[in-house]
Structure 1
Amino acid sequence: MRIGCPREIKNREYRVGLTPESAGELVMHGHEVWIETCAGEGIGAFDDSYRERGARVIDTAEEIFAECEMIVKVKEPQAEEIARLREGQVLYTYLHLAPDPKQTEGLVKSGATCIAYETVTGRRGGLPLLTPMSQVAGRMSIQAGATALEKAHGGRGVLLGGVPGVMPGKVVIIGGGVVGFNAAQMSAGLGADTVIMDLDPTVLEKVGTHFEARASTRFASRANVEESVAEADLVVGAVLVPGAAAPKLVSRDMLKTMKPGAVLVDVAIDQGGCFETSKATTHDDPTYVIDDIVHYCVANMPGAVSRTSTYALNNVTLPHALRIADLGWKQAMSLDPHLAQGLNVHAGRVTYPAVARELGYDLLSIEDAIA
């Protein structure tokens, strides 16, 4: 199979779909790998490092989209990339379609087979291709929130860890999954007063046992969320409904109860955001203020730590890429129902139930798509 990896063109996206080592693995399996020139520079991987692994460096993305059977990326395709996709071509990347009707429409019209990292499931449960980026984003959420809390950036002027004689900042993390757990590790590590909220008692028990006195847990009823948000210096939105739009857990009315200069960090923004006032921002312009509350809603947070993120991502995406390339996507999915859960769009039809339900498409079952 000829596999193409174009340079990412989303704002400040420095990650790359294939590291030189991953490209080399595909080449060792007998495949042809095309890398767009400079695609890996954001992680310190220059063209010669790909050539040394047997990949071919290509001048333009147009050539890659025109000639390759499978496209491996990191972020969802931008409009100009969607226009280059074609029927029968495999796209393997993050998609986050439920809150993005325009992208979904474009992928449906393209006729391509689109496999989303974020809905591939694991043999022991969970979403293993999403997990490493959730770990990165969770940890970054505290860094980003701490910076936004600085007075020069519009925040309250609070140091999360405090100092002797001065109380630490209060961090409220809504969601105790992978993002929330990693956010809590950073927050507790800084010495902040950390509260983790979730609706699942099992999750609360797990994080409570892990953090013991370093963080507290609270059931995420609406009343408890309202009370906790009002007391917080920093609120991290860390909820996920696989493949679906995120629920809105913090309303605009709640903002009026918060301390002026408090910060909201919405890690669920890829799935539409879990705060009513959330709108996607970029690393160039990461924050905005509504009702005196600073919002940080960067949609590709892990792109800022591109080298760590790319290698963590390739660790989990490469095995599936090899199976798809070695066997073809249909046979690979027939043999692996967990990979099959990644199929979101095929031949002009939506194949993932949550996306079809959210956006009003007739569902083509994954089984029928494979058949």
Structure 2
Amino acid sequence: MLVGLPKEIKDNEFRVGLTPASVRELAAHGHQVLVQSGAGAGIGMGDDAYRKAGGEVTPDAAEIFARAEMIVKVKEPQPVECRMLRPGQILFTYLHLAPDPEQAKMIEASGAVAIAYETVTDEAGRLPLLAPMSEVAGRMAVQVGAVSLQKALGGLGVLLAGVPGVPPAKVVVLGGGVVGTNAARIALGMGADVTIFDRSLPRLAQLDDLYGPHLKTCYSTAEAVEEAVFHADLVIGAVLVPGAAAPKLVTRGMLAHMRPGAVLVDVAIDQGGCFETSRPTTHSHPTFVLEGIVHYCVANMPGAVPRTSTFALTQATIPYTLQLADKGWRAALRDNVHLRHGLNVAEGRITYPAVAEALGQALYPVEKVLA
């Protein structure tokens, strides 16, 4: 199979869908890889590294989309890329279609087969291709939140760890999954006063066993979340419903009761955000202030640390990339039910239930696609 690796074009996105090591794996399986020049520059991997691994380098993204049977990316295709997709071509990347009807329409119209990293599962029902970036984003959320609390950036002017005689910042983490657990870990490590919310009592028990009395755990109810948010210095939104739009846990009305200069970091912004007032921002302009509250809503947070993120992502994705290349998408999806869960769009129709529901479209069952 001819696999295409275009350079990412989203604002300040420096990750890349395949490393030279990934290209070498594909080449060892007899596949060709067409790499756009400069695709790996953001992670310190030049064109020569890809050539040495067996890739063919071209300066033209249009050539990659025109020739490749499968496109491997990191972020969702931008409109100019959607227009280059073609019928039957495999697109393997993060998609996050539920809050993005325009992208969904363009991919449907292209006739491409879109397989989303974020809905591929494993034997335990986890999301193995989302987890690496969730780990990065969770750890980064505290880092960017701590910086955003600085007065010069609109924040309250609070040091996360405090100092002797001055209490640490109060950090509230909404969601005890991969993002939330990693955020709590870093916040605790920096000396903050941390409370984490979740609706799973077994998960809260696991977190209590893991971190002991240093981490406050709380069952998520509207009243409990509201009370904690009102007194928080930093709130991290880490709620995930696989493939679906994120629930809104912090409403616009709650902002007036928060501390002026408090910070909201919405890690769920890719799925529409879990704060009602969130809107996507970029690394170029990461924050905005609304009703005195600083919002950090960068939709590709791990892109700020592309080298770490790329290696974490590609070592998780390469087994699935190889399956798709070795067998073709129909056979690969028939043979691997977990990869099958990644199918979001095929034959111009939505095939993932949560996406179809969020977009108000009819669901085209995967079984029909594979028949």
TM-score per shorter chain, which class? over 0.9
* Whole-Å separation in 2 of the counterparts to 1:354 and 1:124: 19
Kindly state the Cα deviation for residue 363 of structure 1 after the two structures are TM-superposed.
Answer: 1.0
Match of 2:76 in 1: 76
Shift of 1:342: 0.2
Distance in structure 2 (CA, Å) of the matches to 1:340 and 1:58: 31
Name the CA distance, whole Å, in 2 between partners of 1:231 and 1:126.
Answer: 33
1:314 equivalent in alignment to 2:314: yes
> Is residue 358 from structure 1 mapped to residue 358 from structure 2 by the alignment?
yes
Code of the aligned partner of 2:287: T
Query: Which residue of structure 1 aligns with residue 67 of structure 2?
Result: 67
> How far did residue 181 of structure 1 move?
0.1
Alignment partner, residue 48 of structure 1:
48
Q: Distance in 1 between matches of 2:31 and 2:123?
A: 27
Q: Does 1:302 align with 2:302?
A: yes
Give the secondary structure class of the aligned counterpart of 2:305.
helix
Q: In structure 1, how many angstroms separate the alpha carbons of the residues matched to 2:209 and 2:263?
A: 27
Superposition TM-score, scaled by structure 2 size:
0.99
Report the Cα distance in structure 2 between the residues aligned to 1:346 and 1:320, rounded to whole angstroms.
18
1:278 is the counterpart of 2:278: yes
In the TM superposition, what is the alpha-carbon distance from 1:360 to its structure 2 partner?
1.6
In the TM superposition, 1:174-253 aligns within 5 A as: 174-253=174-253
User: What's the CA shift for 1:234?
Assistant: 0.1
Residues 57-96 of structure 1: per-residue CA shift (max 9 Å, x gap): 0111000000000000000000000000000100000000
1:269 aligns with 2:269: yes
Structure 2 residue 39 is matched with structure 1 residue 31:
no
| CA–CA distance in structure 2, aligned partners of residues 208 and 336 of structure 1 | 35
Aligned-pair CA distance for 1:361? 1.4
1:347, 1:65 → 2: CA distance? 18
SS in 1 for 2:34: strand
Tell me the distance in 2 between the aligned counterparts of 1:369 and 1:209.
44
Question: 1:250-297: CA deviations, max 9, x gaps?
Answer: 001111111000000000000000000000000000000011000000
Residues in 1 aligned to 2:313 and 2:132: alpha-carbon distance in whole angstroms: 6
Once residues 85 and 300 of structure 1 are traced to their aligned partners in structure 2, the CA distance between those partners, rounded to angstroms, is 22
Aligned equivalents of 1:100, 1:202: Cα separation in 2: 33
The one-letter amino acid paired with 1:41 is A
Q: Over aligned residue pairs, what C-alpha RMSD do you find?
A: 0.5
Mapped pair 1:334 → 2:322? no
When the two structures are superposed, what TM-score results if normalisation uses the length of structure 1? 0.99
Cα separation, 1, equivalents of 2:102 and 2:125: 30
* Alpha-carbon distance between aligned partners in 2 of 1:86 and 1:214, rounded to the nearest angstrom: 53
- Matched residue pairs, number? 371
Whole-angstrom distance in 1 between the partners of 2:29 and 2:285? 42
Shift of 1:219: 1.0
Q: Tell me the distance in 2 between the aligned counterparts of 1:214 and 1:160.
A: 15
- Taking the TM superposition and a 5 Å limit, the aligned residue runs for 1:141-156 are 141-156=141-156
Q: Which residue of 2 aligns with 1:159?
A: 159
Q: CA deviation at 1:209?
A: 1.2
The one-letter amino acid paired with 1:78 is Q
Q: Percent identity at matched positions?
A: 59
Gaps of 5+ in 2: none
For 2:84 and 2:340, locate their aligned partners in 1 and report how far apart those are by CA, in whole Å.
24
Displacement of 1:199: 1.0
Which of structure 1's runs of 4+ aligned residues deviate more than 2 A?
Answer: none
Distance in 2 separating the partners of 1:237 and 1:304? 19
The alpha carbon displacement at 1:153 in A equals 0.6
Mapped to 1, the partners of 2:234 and 2:335 lie a distance apart of 45
- 1:198-239, CA deviations, whole angstroms, 9 ceiling, x for partnerless residues? 111111111111111221011110000010000100000000
